[in-house]
Amino acid sequence: MNQIVFIELINPFKDKVFRLAKRLLTSTEEAEDATQEVIVKLWNKKEDLNHYNNVEALAMTMTKNYCLDQLKSKRAGNLKIVHDNYTDRAPQLDKKLEDSNSLEWVEKIISQLPEQLQILIQLRDVEQYEFDEIAKIVNMNETAIRVALSRARKKIRESMLNTHQYGIK
Amino acid sequence: MELNNIENIIEKYFQGETSIAEEKQLKDYFSSSNVAQHLKQYQPMFGYFSQVKEQKSTQEIPLQTKKRNVAWLSIAASVAVLLAAGTFFYVSEKNTTPVVAQSELGTYDNPEEALEATQKALALLSNNVNVGIESVQYIKEYEQSKNKIFKQ
């Protein structure tokens, strides 16, 4: 397999890998590092790729595992990056008002879900994978995925309702 | 009728029972301009899902670097081997030439003189060795203090 064939193979799902990494790692730079890592790993075992009938699912699984490892190692080292840590309060309040009108709230709400649910939301609601494909990626059965997904969606709805009605009731 | 349908799909959606086609229908509905008032609360959610899907990774992936490295590595290795071999021959060549004839070494004809000279040389050697031993005496000191502390 040469470089051109390989790039044609990964191009359809390269961005999906990136978006899944970004969902879990938050920062764009780290997500790009993760994407690169996954693609280089695939490149290194390019000779074996023929044995896998679904390289995309393999790539997504690798991404998921890599990101979870990253998160784990960061937590172990107490290195979790807290973003707006150093900004002062006034602009944050402005930002909050602005956010409430935009889609960023949804992002915040999703980022507070457990990682497993974030992965499912990303795979199903953003990337629109079929349940059998998701089952291969996360190694769960379809019923469990449906149940978890329903839980995640309801949680998002609940948090959004709370945000919307904040100060009214 | 359509509104009723959408409401049904939303209900199924939160149960995790919708198909991809139905979810697409929801996305289309919420990206349109005439969303019913009581459903507006879901709009950001579906809007967000569509928006996030637009994100793209912009970086270039560096591939093929490994192969080139191997080539460079072998070039560098062969150059190093050549250099090492070259210097070895050069140095050994230099070392072999100063092997001098016996006649050029200083020598004594008189055995007494020779004995004296030998004794002198050995004395010099022994002096130097003694200097070395003196500095080794310190170690004995350490040994003693060590034995004081760690009683055996």
The yes-or-no verdict on residue A102 having pLDDT over 70 is no
CATH of A1-81 given 1.10.1740.10, 3.40.50.300, 2.60.110.10, 3.40.1190.10: 1.10.1740.10
Q: Rounded to whole angstroms, how far apart are CA atoms A77 and A129?
A: 34
Which H or E element spans position B28? helix B20-31
For A52, residues 6+ apart whose C-beta sits below 8 A from its C-beta are A58
Chain B CB within 8 Å of residue A153 CB: yes
Phi and psi, residue A143, nearest 5°: -65, -45
Give how far B93 is from chain A: nearest CA, Å: 48
User: DSSP assignment, residue B41?
Assistant: G
The average pLDDT across A2-20 equals 87
Q: Rounded to whole angstroms, how far apart are CA atoms B65 and A169?
A: 61
Cβ separation B66–A44 shorter than 8 A? yes
pLDDT at A85: 47
The yes-or-no verdict on residue A95 having pLDDT over 70 is no
Q: How many helices (H) and strands (E) does chain B have?
A: 5, 0
The yes-or-no verdict on residue A39 having pLDDT over 60 is yes
- Of A31-35, A104-108, B145-149, the range with the highest mean pLDDT is A31-35
The yes-or-no verdict on residue A167 having pLDDT over 80 is no
Nearest to B63 among A43, A105, A146 (CB): A43
Q: How far, in whole angstroms, is CA A102 from its chain's centroid?
A: 20
Residues of chain A with CATH 1.10.10.10: 85-169
pLDDT in tens, A67-86: 999 888 876 655 555 554 45
pLDDT at B103: 61
Lowest mean pLDDT among A14-18, B9-13, B47-51: B47-51
Which chain B positions have a beta carbon within 8 Å of A25's beta carbon? none
Residues of chain A with CATH 1.10.1740.10: 1-81
CATH architecture of A85-169: Orthogonal Bundle (1.10)
Q: With 0-12 CB in 10 A as exposed, 13-18 as middle and 19+ as buried, what is A15? A: middle
pLDDT at B93: 76
The average pLDDT across B15-43 equals 87
Q: Rounded to whole angstroms, how far apart are CA atoms B21 and A128?
A: 10
Give how far B95 is from chain A: nearest CA, Å: 50
Chain B CB within 8 Å of residue A160 CB: yes
- Nearest chain A residue to B44 by CA distance is A103
Q: Which residue has the tokens 């062969």?
A: B78
Give how far B19 is from chain A: nearest CA, Å: 8
Cβ separation A126–B53 shorter than 8 A? yes
Give how far A31 is from chain B: nearest CA, Å: 9
pLDDT at B152: 60
Which amino acid is present at A53? N
Chain A CB within 8 Å of residue B44 CB: yes
- Nearest chain B residue to A149 by CA distance is B16
- Residue among A90, A151, A27, A64 at smallest CA distance from B13: A151
Lowest mean pLDDT among A86-90, B24-28, B39-43: A86-90
Q: Rounded to whole angstroms, how far apart are CA atoms A83 and A22?
A: 15
The yes-or-no verdict on residue B123 having pLDDT over 90 is yes
The yes-or-no verdict on residue A14 having pLDDT over 80 is yes
Chain B CB within 8 Å of residue A155 CB: no
Q: Rounded to whole angstroms, how far apart are CA atoms A163 and A91?
A: 19
Q: Rounded to whole angstroms, how far apart are CA atoms B91 and B135?
A: 36
pLDDT bin (cut points 50, 70, 90) of residue A64 is very high
pLDDT in tens, B50-109: 888 888 877 777 665 555 667 788 889 999 999 999 999 888 877 665 555 666 667 778
Which H or E element spans position A70? helix A55-76
Q: Rounded to whole angstroms, how far apart are CA atoms A136 and A122?
A: 15
